[in-house]
Amino acid sequence: MNAVLLAGICWAIITYILTGPTHEDSRDIVLAAVLLAELIILGIALYFFIRNKEVQIWVSPSEFHYSDPVFGDYGFTASVNDITALRQIRSATNQYAEHIVEFKTGESKRIMYQNYSIDRQKLFDALQKANPSIIVPDGPWEYEITRPQWAHKVREKLNIDD
């Protein structure tokens, strides 16, 4: 989809913005840049298509397992009795989302399931079934909002609840 969108944007720029004989050099530069970007996008798509690996998450009565072979074969398995919470956090400033598993030891591990067709509610229900003391979000799309420290101070002075 990105490759098709990029080609459409390139066509629009050349057709509507870079018109006339004075922009011939600019058109060549835009075409070269778009061609390079298209090759990179299609190369990445081909790499992921050939690799064809996916995130795996499962919960048993005693264990939680997470495996992400796409990004450096990152993964872990932990006892559900060691987990205290699964938190979904979103930054108020840049909308960056994080998904974090917290442990009794104070350690936390990031997991990335937002780009995959993971049924979040089933994951939350399975964790609660394995260990009812695990804190999970209220819903699959419920996120805790985090703000920088300066924003907390401003909101406090303006008497706005966090």
Close Cβ partners of 9 (under 8 Å, ≥ 6 residues apart): none
Average the pLDDT over 145-162 and give the result: 83
Instruction: Give the single-character DSSP code of 115.
Output: T
Q: Is the pLDDT of residue 130 over 90?
A: yes
Query: Any idea where the domains of the chain sit in the sequence?
Result: 2-51, 56-147
pLDDT > 90: percent of the chain: 40
For residue 162, name the pLDDT band (cuts at 50, 70, 90). low
Average the pLDDT over 79-98 and give the result: 92
Q: Is the pLDDT of residue 13 over 90?
A: no
For residue 71, name the pLDDT band (cuts at 50, 70, 90). low
Q: What region, left, alpha or beta, does residue 124 occupy, with left being phi > 0 and alpha being psi -120 to 50 degrees?
A: alpha
> How many Å apart are CA 127 and CA 66, to the nearest integer?
13
CATH code of 56-147, in short, is 2.30.29
